[in-house]
Structure 1
Amino acid sequence: MDTYLVGGAVRDALLGLPPGDRDWVVVGATPQQMLDAGFRPVGRDFPVFLHPHSGEEHALARTERKSGRGHRGFVVDADPSVTLEEDLQRRDFTINAIARDARGDLVDPYGGADDLQRRILRHVGPAFAEDPLRVLRAARFMARLAPLGFEVAPETMALMRQMAASGELDTLVPERVWQELRKALAAPRPSAFLATLHACGALAAVLPEVDALYGVPQRAEFHPEIDTGIHQQLVSDMAARLAPGDDLVGFAALTHDLGKARTPAHVLPRHIGHEHAGLKPLAALCERLKVPTEHRRLAEAVCREHLNVHRLAELRDATVLELLERCDAFRRPERVARIAIACEADKRGRLGQEEADYPQGPALRRLHAAAAAVNARDLPGGAHLAGPQVGQALRKARIAAIAAARSP
């Protein structure tokens, strides 16, 4: 029985990145031997065990054979005769097919260390095409590694185009698509995820509402980048910069402009009412991918209100209160800061506007704090108010608080 450190732990150490979870491959063992050694079984589709002391995952070396459509259509063989090289061969990218033995020496049969040096994301072999999920994984890795200078190998991109054209991506279950999307939105450069999928034709299969933005023109005086798809990439990257690792903000930023794909051709490059037009495609996307409720509600608020936040200084005090109420800001106060960040990402996600000031963000938080500080029990004559009178008095007091917070 030989044990090897594999995958992301080896890759990230060679890149000098902070260590994450460590995964191990065990060669030459049976499930019974693992149980006898005190390991706890956790694998459902193939033999994976937790170390009795460290709790780290140890998987038996295995091979996989395609048996049906989709990323689940595989037959797994975890026989003790499976070699380390055979196990590494089934992995997706060369940079993930590197192992380290007990002495600390690398086992690198597919040139992953060299591809790390050259900053290339390359598939290990032709079996890559058997799993459509790997197209999304390639894009998600680019969202993380593009800031380090990584590019997708031309032959890998060509294979991904073939996979997208085959229709195999239609077999992906919504939960797995959402999982990859969520990780990409929490990565340093989400635009690389979008650009990679768009370049290979896969974005239309998994996020058609976002793919539809590419090629849609905007007014150059407001959007020097013109193309709405490019604007969306810039906004997603700005959201990642302003709220690192926050996929809630990332999802709201990703979906804020979906309505622009629905603008009639004769109206372009103007997009009148796009904020409301975007709610329907947003709902379709959320239903299809089973997006969590809080992500959906925040995205709806940003989609519907981002233009109002941009012109916050022009809104009447009562209108500001109505905006906050539509966002459920008094029951979900943590939502306000994220709305402000997503709107700032929209404003600064434009060519030449990357360092622009966005006073609307602090103003929105300040006005919300002032209104939220008003409590019904502290209203003048509150003890004598009943029914609708309480709500009316509370609304009047909150409007007054917003007005006072706006005063110099």
Structure 2
Amino acid sequence: MKVYLVGGAVRDKLLKRPIKECDYVVVGSTPAELISLGYQQVGNDFPVFLHPKTKDEYALARTERKSGQGYTGFICDFAPEVTLEEDLVRRDLTVNAMAEDENGNIIDPFNGQTDLANKLLRHVSDAFCEDPLRILRVARFAARYHYLGFTIAPETQQLMQQMVARGEINTLTKERIWLEIEKSLEDGAINVFTDVLAEINALPIILPALIDFWSQEYSCKLAELLSKTSGEQQKIVRFCLWLKDILPEQINSLSAHLRIPNTYSNALYLFNRFAPIFSKSAPCTQQVLDLLNTADVWRRPERLTLFLATFKLLGDSQSSLANNIELASEHALAINVQAIIQQGYKGAEIKQQLDIEREKAINDVFSN
């Protein structure tokens, strides 16, 4: 049997980018042989194995034949006679259809290196249109490599647009759509991902809440904001910036449409409810307390931290206000409930007095 490094690892190695994971194709072997060598089978639809030591994925070379709708309707053949080129031709883009042998030689039957040099994302064959998930993958790659100047080949973009017109993209599950969105948020250029969807008329299907205000101007302004993001929570911060003009009452339907995790949807609701108010004028004490209560800063201080980190990116005045809100929350958090109880307050009186003292703590910060 022969083993080849394939796909993204080869692509990113040639681009001198960090390699996140290594995938391998095995030619001329069988499941029984790999199992006898200590590999652990994990694939259900086709044999994928984990290396006994590195735990990297090793897949038997295979061909695919379309057998139904969507991205799951395929029949796979993984016989030992399947060649490397037959395996590579089923892949989405030429830059992902390269392999490297054990001696470091690049096998490139579809001119992926030429497309890398020309900064083009081009489909390998007409088999591309058999898998609608590739529409989102190409949009994600366009976003990931935008900083290098990559664009989608015109013929590939036209093919994607035709797939959307035929309704292929409607077969994608909410979970798979969200996964591609989250990966684009991690890469940092979610605006480019959205631009691609808009250009191929997929935005009304994937993100209908964006169609009323998305434009090239909006995308450029968002790109400027995104360039300032950093830190562990950057995906959620970018998510909030991306959808900052969605109305709070639209968030529930958007979350259901894409099955967005609560961490994201809660952060978006908090941001879209209070950021517009605080951006227009200096907030009153009650509005700040309302923010702290809605964020549940008393039990979940990280929610306010995330809001303030995002709010600061909107401008200098917002950054200054965020610092004051942070200080006010620290003073409000320092109020001791037990001390209030010891003063003789009981039942509902405790909550009333607690709010009074928290309001005073907030007002002290903003009145200085």
TM-score (norm 1): 0.85
Q: CA deviation at 1:329?
A: 2.5
Shift of 1:188: 2.3
1:219 matched residue in structure 2: none
Identity %: 38
Match of 1:364 among 325, 334, 337: 325
Change (3 A) 1:163 1:152: same
Distance 1:322 1:7 in 2: 50
The verdict on how the C-alpha distance between 1:232 and 1:308 changes in structure 2, with shifts beyond 3 A counting, is farther
Does the CA-based 8 Å contact 2:70-2:132 persist in structure 1? yes
Distance 2:250 2:5 in 1: 44
Q: Distance in 1 between matches of 2:95 and 2:273?
A: 42
TM-fit CA distance, 1:80: 0.9
Q: Is the 8 A contact 2:189 2:226 kept in 1?
A: no
* Aligned position for 1:398: 358
Which secondary structure does the structure 1 equivalent of 2:59 belong to? strand
The offset of 1:8, in angstroms, is: 1.1
Q: Distance in 1 between matches of 2:12 and 2:342?
A: 61
Following TM superposition, by how much is the alpha carbon of 1:179 offset from its aligned partner in structure 2, in angstroms?
Answer: 0.3
Partner of 1:151 in structure 2? Answer: 151
For the residues of structure 2 that align with 1:40 and 1:154, how far apart are their CA atoms?
Answer: 42
Aligned to 2:273: 304
Provide the secondary structure at the position in 2 that maps to 1:64.
strand
**Residue among 301, 305, 309 paired with 1:341:** 309
CA deviation after TM superposition for structure 1 residue 331, in Å: 2.2
Aligned-residue offset at 1:252: 2.0
- Separation in structure 1 between the aligned mates of residue 308 and residue 230 of structure 2, nearest angstrom: 11
Of 251, 262, 270, the match for 1:282: 251
**Structure 2 gaps, min length 5:** none
Q: Could you list the runs of 5+ residues in structure 1 that have no partner in the other structure?
A: 215-226, 259-277, 349-354
CA distance in 2, matches of 1:87, 1:141: 21
Instruction: Answer yes or no: is 1:59 the counterpart of 2:46.
Output: no
3-state SS of the aligned residue for 1:59? strand
Instruction: Tell me the residue number matched to 2:34.
Output: 34
Q: Is this contact kept in 2: 1:119–1:150, CA < 8 A?
A: yes
| CA displacement 1:124-143 (0-9 Å, x = unmatched) | 11111111110100111111
1:215-226 equivalences in 2 (<5 Å): none
Partners of 1:140 and 1:185 lie apart in 2 by: 9
After TM superposition, list the pairs within 5 Å mapping 1:323-334 onto structure 2: 323-334=291-302
Give the distance between the partners of 2:195 and 2:239, measured in 1 at CA: 16
CA separation in 1, counterparts of 2:102 and 2:249?
Answer: 55
Give the equivalent residue in structure 1 for 2:261. 292
What CA distance in whole angstroms lies between the structure 1 residues aligned with 2:133 and 2:39?
A: 30
In structure 2, do the counterparts of structure 1 residues 393 and 232 end up closer, same or farther at CA, with 3 Å as the change threshold?
farther
Residue 311 of structure 1 deviates from its aligned partner by: 4.1
Counterpart in 2 of 1:230? 217
Task: Let me know the Cα RMSD of the aligned residues.
Answer: 1.9
Corresponding letter in the other structure for 1:359? S
Letter in 2 for 1:282: I
